[in-house]
Amino acid sequence: MLAGREGHATQKAMQILVALGEIYGARRLVKVSSVQVSGVSYKNLGDAGLQFLDELARDGKARVKTTLNPAGMSLTDWRSQGIDPHFAEKQLEVIDAYRRLGLEISCTCTPYLAGNEPGFGEHIAWGESSAVAYANSVLGARTNREGGPSALAASLTGRTPLYGLHLRENRVPTHSVEVEAQLKSPEDFSAMGYFVGRAVKDGIPRFSGVKRASLDELKTLSAALASSGGVAMFHIAGVTPESKLSGGRAESLTFTSHDLEETVAQLNDHGTPDFVSVGCPHCSIGELATLARLLKGKKVRKEFWVCCSREVKRKSDELGYSRPIQRSGAKFATDTCMVVAPIEDMGYRVVATNSAKACHYLRNSGLRVRFLTLEKCVAEATRGVET
Ligand code: F3S
């Protein structure tokens, strides 16, 4: 591959992997069973990224199951989202390049809820920080935090350098977090992730004192830890599959109810929201069931995006959850999300959301944020108006 006998794209991909392997001291490559490629929104890629993809698509092909992160817009309903036609044209060119490369146009940051769910111990190469933390911690699969190019390179070669979290010895906790706060909702897990991510940076926290955690709580915890910090793996004693791993000295910290309150306060700016969005990471079917119940018979009075994968939306259609959501005027934002879509260019200023990760990145785009529970996001969008 490196010598170019399997084509230009494969050679380029292998050059990227060899360079990475040399930097991190990997002794060899390892075969991967699945890849998740980030770097899909034209907002982040720009023309240089599009050109890079276009070049690879001339003779490159995915060798393993490869799914895609959200794009900057819904691929079908971008007009009703208010997306600029020039942006849409460029975004569709990006998607076309990925399609030619043989990637599944899944456009979700929760591939594990949409048919790409690796098993325990499988080597994978994923590039979406929230999904990386979830895959390592909850599924027990093994991946480093890949960037867009290195994940794509793994897809085109079926391999990744064997270093970092692919090795058992690097998966032991670096920090021990005693959770004293009562965690009552996924949003509390999100706030805790935000607090702990900031403290441990790219470490591996091991939480104790958490008796149980739902899929939605683990999903939002993964995202928050990976946004304020660079966490790619965590453990929860008695909950996650490798929580008994030990070795080395782990630094101790606590998460108290005061820390919880303070973190929530820090994630709230002033101003009345003009945009409400849930589904960061993309909603599970359970979250859509809750939204259907909360929105039934109500009308939203503000732009309200429900971000999820097409796969989960399809299940929601079948189970009858989509109808009350859509009848309320809320919009399904499949293929995209409030962070990777250019909503700041669409005139919105203050966003209400139930995700600490979304708050973090929306602020980076110059928006103000309100961090609310799912129930309060619905209340904010509807303000109790009954049909
Ligand atoms: Fe997913 Fe967008 Fe949040 S990609 S994790 S919904 S920032």
Query: Atom 6, ligand 1: which residue's CA is nearest?
Result: 280
Query: Atom 3, ligand 1: which residue's CA is nearest?
Result: 280
Pocket of ligand 1 (CB under 6 A): 69-70, 109, 130, 223, 280-282, 307, 337, 339-340, 357-358, 361
pLDDT at 247: 85
pLDDT at 153: 98
Q: Atom of ligand 1 at shortest distance to CA of 281? A: 5
Query: Atom 2, ligand 1: which residue's CA is nearest?
Result: 337
> What is the distance between the alpha carbons of residues 4 and 55, in angstroms, rounded to a whole number?
15
Helix (H) or strand (E) holding 217: helix 215-228
**pLDDT tens figures, 130-154:** 999 999 999 999 999 999 999 999 9
Distance 65 CA to ligand 1 centre (A): 21
The mean pLDDT of 33-57, rounded to a whole number, is: 97
- The CATH number that domain 275-382 falls under is 3.30.499.10
**pLDDT tens figures, 245-266:** 988 889 999 999 999 999 999 9
386 band by pLDDT with thresholds 50, 70 and 90: very low
**pLDDT tens figures, 262-295:** 999 999 999 999 999 999 999 999 999 999 999 9
Q: What single-letter DSSP state applies at residue 145?
A: B
pLDDT at 163: 98
383 band by pLDDT with thresholds 50, 70 and 90: confident
**Ligand 1 pocket: which of 282, 308, 361 to mutate (most atoms within 8 A of CB):** 282
Distance 126 CA to ligand 1 centre (A): 14
Q: Which residues contact 135 (CB under 8 A, 6 or more apart)?
A: 112, 118, 124, 126, 141, 143
Domain spans of the chain, in order of start = 8-168, 172-266, 275-382
- Domain 8-168 matches domain 275-382 at the CATH topology level: yes
8-168: CATH topology is: Aconitase; domain 3 (3.30.499)
**pLDDT tens figures, 78-136:** 999 999 999 999 999 999 999 999 999 999 999 999 999 999 999 999 999 999 999 99
**pLDDT tens figures, 157-166:** 999 999 999 9
In a 13 Å sphere around the CA of 340, the CA atoms on its Cβ side amount to: 30
> What is the distance between the alpha carbons of residues 237 and 246, in angstroms, rounded to a whole number?
12
The mean pLDDT of 209-230, rounded to a whole number, is: 97
The mean pLDDT of 195-224, rounded to a whole number, is: 98
pLDDT at 248: 81
**Ligand 1 pocket: which of 110, 306, 339 to mutate (most atoms within 8 A of CB):** 339
The mean pLDDT of 313-320, rounded to a whole number, is: 98
Distance 320 CA to ligand 1 centre (A): 25
> What is the distance between the alpha carbons of residues 223 and 357, in angstroms, rounded to a whole number?
6
Distance 276 CA to ligand 1 centre (A): 14
Q: Atom of ligand 1 at shortest distance to CA of 279? A: 6
Q: Which two tokens stand for residue 134?
A: 């979830």
The mean pLDDT of 175-183, rounded to a whole number, is: 98
Share of the chain above pLDDT 70, in %: 99
